[in-house]
A and B are shown apart, each in its own frame.
Chain A
Amino acid sequence: MAQNPTAGLGAGAIAEARPPGGLARNPITRWLRANLFNTWLNSAVTLIVLYFAIKGLWSFMDWAFLSAHFEVDDTRVCREAKEGACWALITEKHRFILFGTYPYEEQWRALIVIFLFIALYVVSAMRRFWNRRLALIWAVGLFAIGVLMWGGVLGLRYVENERWGGLPLTLMLATFGIALAFPLGIALALGRRSNMPAIQALCVVYIELIRGVPLISLLFMASVMFPLFLPEGMTIDKLLRAQVAIIMFAAAYLAEVIRGGLQAIPKGQFEAADSLGLSYIHKTGKIILPQALKLVIPPLVNSFIGLFKDTSLVLIIGLFDLLNSAKASIIEPKWVGFGVEAYVFVSIIYFAFCFAMSKYSQELEATLARGHKR
């Protein structure tokens, strides 16, 4: 160690003040020592993890790229090669997986719809749009999405919703699900906190009932029981029924999230509003809810991620969402047995959406927490 001749301090004090691993000059070596090789045990663990990580990564690279087939005339090539992935499935079927049975020559419309949804999410994520304009943007956006999917106007061919599928369907189920469940969730949360016993009991029963059963049972209900509920001669199509089930499901979960926010509002806020003579409606709408909802934005985003993943369950009642179209893409005898490729492909799509949203929610939570301490 070089002695430090300039300072009047004793060299010992300086040496004392060094962080562990400070013996190395090179910052990289220092970092490695501090984080990976600080004890014998840790060094051993590091080496073992490193070994498996490299081995796993290598076999994945080999499977996914080096030995993979991206285009084949006959899938037998893939079957005989065995080692690699057969991405030829995706090359051939990606439009089917993404858009389901939407008419081939109209799929550009479905593609625009996907981008419209992404645009809506991005705009909603930006805090400077958190005002009345946002509602307008959503109204226009959802209207445009409806026009593009259905068509029948502006010279667009009409596409009945039995043919909708793939990613647009997944996005629609999730987005409409959360958007329409939101007001219902607010009403349920307020009802659960009301001091009217009958209304409170009603809300508690609804929330606990829905949260106590799996989504599948609600979807079954939508698919086989809803038709029985309607008067004779009246039918609603399966997509709408599934959407209703998803809304009912999401509302119960949102209600609990919102209730958490309501509980976090200090009593003084209610008292101040009362002492100013505000009515229940004004007190709730202008003082309590704005604060409560802002508090729960991060868990609301998480609920949306959950719902986004949960829409995949509609395949059980036979709707062609993204996951079901991936499953259907390997039905053809030629492609039987390439499930892993299909599922890895759609996993990437689901992951991209969910990961982006969860990162956003984490960052927002940190920002809001900082804002509160201000």
Chain B
Amino acid sequence: MATKVQGEHRRPPPAAFNLSLNNPTVRAILYQIIVLGGVAFVVWYLVSNTIQNLETRKIASGFTFLYREAGFAIGEGLVEFSPADTYLDAFWVGLLNTLRVAVIGIIFATVFGTILGVARLSRNWLVARAASLYVEFIRNIPLLLQLFFWWSVFRDIFPGPRQALSPVAGVYFSNRGVNFAVPVSDPVHWYMAGAFVIAVFASILIHRWATRRQQMTGEQFPSILTGLGLLFGLPLAVFLIGGAPTTFDWPELRGFNFVGGSTVTPEFTALLIGLIMYTAGFIAEIVRAGILAVSHGQTEAALALGLTRGRVLRLVILPQALRVIIPPMISQYLNLTKNSSLAVAIGYPDIVSIANTAINQTGQAIEGIAIIMIVYLTFSLSISAFMNWYNRHIALVER
């Protein structure tokens, strides 16, 4: 019969422990000791071999080489570098180069990939077919091959600077890279940037105010249109008031090469084009899947409530689709960053390429590879930390 003795043990008592091989806890500990021991033994074996090998081959170890003079030149970089600088400086240039190609690549790949993904769902048969042909094609060819292809296009097909192709005035494609005109720096540009920042804040405030007013009174205000107007209009106004400084620094042919304007090397361009086109193929699929994941019923339900098509997209479809899209999208960004390491094959001086040179010069392979791995692991781990945060955030919203 039910006994009513309560409060005898309100909390679970500690589990009794018996030291027997049939106790799952004992077994688990034993298994773990065996596995860890095995792993430790293998690691110890490899490390001791390595130490011995380093001694017999007279290879130095440790990271002190980083402070030595590098003695090689780097083709391009965001900061000045000369062969007299240290290896550490060289790695810094490489890291910045990796980030430069990754950031620009991510921005363009997102834009291009999103357009492609939406195009695949277009009701226009020709557009949908063209987009899906592109995606099928680009995804099924190794990226490295595509990089070589673009590099070859620059080297072998594009003419020398004298016959450079110029699709738009001020932009030249030649086997020396891409040269294009840039506006000459003017204080007005800084004012424009300031105006843009102000416009961003103003739009946020207006949006908040509009939302609150809509919640209080039900009256609506076209805050998005106003915001867009501000974002473009304010800098434009500053530009016009500032006297519209339109002096450009045009690239000019002098002798065998261009002078003036801005130049990007064929290596950088080939890498960037390759990364963008390849990653866009994958992003397109993610975007398409994300849009398709929002069930048709959702659209119908929203339309049945009398929302306009634009509102349905903004209030119902996009928030749900983004939830599906963002996680794989971030992992594509990570892939793009990792893939940028293929730069080493076409001579763009990214971190891997610099490390490779350093390894060849110093023989300190372990340290060089460790630097590469640490750099990429930092990217991956910080992004996965962000993803975990994001997923928790989403999970909270769902419940």
Direct contact of A and B (CB under 8 A): yes
- Interface-forming stretch among B5-13, B136-144, B195-203, B295-303? B136-144
> In chain B, what residue has the closest Cβ to A53?
B130
Chain A, Cβ-Cβ closest to B36: A198
Interface 0/1 of A193-234, CB less than 8 Å to B = 001111100100000110111101100110011011111100
Residue of A35, A220, A231 with most chain B CB atoms under a 10 A cut-off: A220
Q: Among B31, B54, B124, B342, which residue has its beta carbon within 8 angstroms of that of A216? A: B342
User: In the docked arrangement, what's the CA distance between A217 and B366, Å?
Assistant: 11
A residues 39-71 touching B (CB-CB < 8 Å)? 42, 45-46, 49-50, 53
Please name all residues of chain A whose beta carbon is closer than 8 Å to the beta carbon of B372 when the two chains form the complex. 213-214, 217, 220
Tell me which residues from 332 to 364 in chain A have a Cβ below 8 Å from any Cβ of chain B: 337-340, 343-344, 346-347, 350-351, 354-355, 358
Let me know if A303 is at the binding interface, CB within 8 A: no
Say yes or no: is B339 at the interface (Cβ < 8 Å to chain A). Answer: yes
Complex interface: stretch among A108-116, A265-273, A291-299, A304-312: A304-312
Whether A340 contacts B152 in the complex (CB less than 8 A), given A202-B35, A228-B49, A229-B50, comes out as yes
- Identify the interface centre among B54, B126, B366: most chain A CB within 10 Å of its CB: B126
A367 vs B356: C-alpha distance in the bound complex, in angstroms? 47
Q: Which residues, 134 to 158 on A, are CB-close (under 8 Å) to B? A: none
3 closest A-B pairs (Cβ-Cβ)?
Answer: A339-B152, A212-B380, A354-B140
Are the C-beta atoms of A46 and B124 separated by less than 8 Å?
yes
Does A327 interact with chain B (Cβ within 8 Å)? Answer: yes
11 further A-B contacts with Cβ under 8 Å, apart from A49-B126, A350-B141, A354-B141, are A198-B35, A202-B35, A208-B384, A216-B342, A216-B352, A220-B365, A228-B366, A339-B151, A340-B156, A343-B152, A350-B145
Chain B residues with Cβ below 8 Å from A220 are 352, 356, 359, 365, 368-369, 372
Q: Which of B35, B36, B53, B124 has the most CB of A within 10 A?
A: B124
If A214-B338, A232-B52 touch, whether A343 touches B149 (CB-CB below 8 Å) is: yes
A49 to B139, CA, bound (A): 22
Residue B60 at the A interface, CB < 8 A? no
Interface pair A36/B56, CB less than 8 Å apart: no
**What 0/1 readout, one digit per residue, does chain B (6-36) give for beta carbons within 8 Å of chain A?**
0000000000000000000000100110011
A246 CB, nearest partner CB in chain B, Å: 14
Q: Is the CB of A315 within 8 A of B345?
A: yes
Q: Is B148 an interface residue (CB 8 A)?
A: yes
- Given that A196-B31, A217-B341, A339-B152 are contacting pairs, would A50 and B126 also be in contact in the complex, using a CB cutoff of 8 Å? yes
Provide 28 A-B residue pairs closer than 8 Å at the C-beta atoms, listed in order of the A residue: A45-B126, A46-B126, A46-B127, A49-B124, A196-B28, A198-B36, A202-B35, A208-B381, A212-B380, A216-B344, A217-B352, A220-B352, A220-B368, A225-B366, A225-B369, A229-B46, A230-B49, A309-B140, A310-B142, A312-B142, A323-B142, A338-B156, A339-B151, A343-B149, A346-B145, A347-B141, A347-B145, A358-B136
Determine whether the beta carbon of B157 is less than 8 Å from that of A213.
no
User: Chain B interface mostly helix, strand, loop or mixed?
Assistant: helix
Q: Is the CB of B137 within 8 A of A351?
A: yes
Q: Is A179 an interface residue (CB 8 A)?
A: no
Query: By the criterion CB–CB under 8 Å, are B153 and A209 in contact?
Result: no
CB distance from A62 to the nearest CB of B (A): 14
Residues of chain B with a CB closer than 8 A to A344's CB: 149
CA of A171 to CA of B180, assembled, Å:
43
Cβ of A316 within 8 Å of any chain B Cβ, yes or no, is yes
In the complex, B111 has a CB within 8 A of chain A: no
B155 CB–A CB distance under 8 Å: yes
Q: Which residues of A contact B53 (CB under 8 A)?
A: 227-228, 230, 232
Among B31, B145, B338, B379: residue with most chain A CB under 10 A: B145
Complexed CA–CA distance, A310 and B345 (Å) = 14
Residue of B nearest to A358 (CB): B140
Return chain A residues, CB-CB under 8 Å to B141: 309, 347, 350-351, 354
CB atoms of A340 and B157 under 8 A apart: yes
**Across-interface contacts of B342 in A (CB, < 8 A):** 216, 313, 316
Nearest Cβ distance between residue A108 and chain B, in whole angstroms?
Answer: 27
In the complex the two chains form, is B142's CB within 8 Å of A350's CB? yes
Asked if A38 is at the interface (CB within 8 A of a chain B CB), the reply is: yes
Taking CB atoms and an 8 Å cut-off, the chain B residues in 29-62 that contact chain A are: 31-32, 35-36, 39, 46, 49-50, 52-54, 56
**A202 touching B39 in the complex, CB below 8 Å, given contacts A212-B376, A212-B381, A230-B49:** yes
Bound complex: CA A254 to CA B186 (Å): 54
User: Which residue of the partner chain A has the closest CB to B356?
Assistant: A220
User: Residue B373 at the A interface, CB < 8 A?
Assistant: yes
Decide: A196 and B32 in contact? CB cutoff 8 A.
yes
Q: Are B352 and A309 in contact (CB under 8 A)?
A: no
What's the least CB distance linking B240 to chain A, in Å? 32
A351 / chain B contacts, CB cutoff of 8 Å: 137, 140-141
- Chain A 8-43 interface 0/1 with B at a Cβ cutoff of 8 Å (1 = within): 000000000000000000000000000110100010
Known: A50-B126, A216-B342. Is A323-B148 also a contact (CB below 8 A)?
A: yes
Determine the chain A residues whose CB is within 8 A of the CB of B137 once the complex forms. Answer: 351
Contact indicator A339/B148 (Cβ below 8 Å):
yes
B125 interface residue, CB < 8 Å from A? yes
Determine the residue in chain A with the shortest Cβ distance to B59: A228
Task: Check if B228 is an interface residue, CB within 8 A of chain A.
Answer: no
Chain B stretch 349-382: residues in CB contact (< 8 A) with chain A: 352, 356, 359, 365-366, 368-369, 372-373, 376-377, 379-381
Please tell me if the beta carbons of B144 and A313 are within 8 angstroms of each other in the complex.
yes
Q: A42-B124, A340-B149, A343-B149 are in contact. Are A224 and B359 (CB under 8 A)?
A: yes
- Does B254 sit at the interface, judged by CB under 8 A? no
Residues of A within 8 A of B339 (CB): 214
